[in-house]
């Protein structure tokens, strides 16, 4: 098991249970659970600036829009790959992403849908 700390953004817990039902029959169950800590506002800003250096104004808008959202660093990387050509589009589209994340769909599904829409429109 790993703890969630500054260097480790995930927690993984694995439980294995072996039941001997008879001398010739053993049932083994394994349950694995992984929790991912969402990106902090500081991480949002740093990642934005890594993709778009010197775009502080757009970075601030991006952080303001997404600070309350539960996004993993991996999902953020996916987002930036979609908008890698424009800091302005990346920061502007973050408002729409924040609205979508307020729904009941998991963040990963929201990002998948966004990627599908992006591939159809190119914007």
What pLDDT, in 10s, does the model give residues 25-63?
888 888 777 666 788 999 999 999 999 999 999 999 999
Q: pLDDT by residue (tens digit) across 6-32? A: 444 556 678 888 888 888 888 888 877
Residue 10 confidence (pLDDT): 59
Which sequence spans correspond to the domains of the chain? 41-121
Determine phi and psi for 70, rounding to 5 degrees. Answer: -100, 80
Residue 33 burial (C-beta neighbours within 10 Å; 0-12, 13-18, 19+): exposed
Residue 74 confidence (pLDDT): 87
Above 50 in pLDDT, residue 3? no
Q: pLDDT by residue (tens digit) across 62-97? A: 999 999 888 888 899 999 999 999 999 999 999 999
How many angstroms separate the CA atoms of 18 and 31, rounded? Answer: 12
């Amino acid at each position: 098991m790993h703890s969630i700390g500054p260097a480790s953004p995930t927690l993984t817990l694995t439980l294995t249970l072996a039941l001997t039902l008879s001398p010739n029959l053993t049932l083994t169950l394994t349950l694995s659970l992984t929790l991912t800590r969402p990106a902090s506002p500081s991480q949002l800003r740093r990642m934005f600036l890594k993709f778009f250096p010197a775009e502080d104004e757009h970075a601030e808008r991006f952080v303001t829009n997404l600070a309350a959202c539960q996004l993993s660093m991996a999902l953020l990387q996916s987002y930036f790959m979609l908008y890698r050509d424009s800091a302005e589009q990346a920061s502007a589209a973050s408002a729409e992403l924040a609205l979508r994340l307020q729904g009941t769909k998991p963040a990963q599904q929201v990002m998948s849908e966004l990627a599908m829409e992006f591939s159809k429109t190119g914007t």
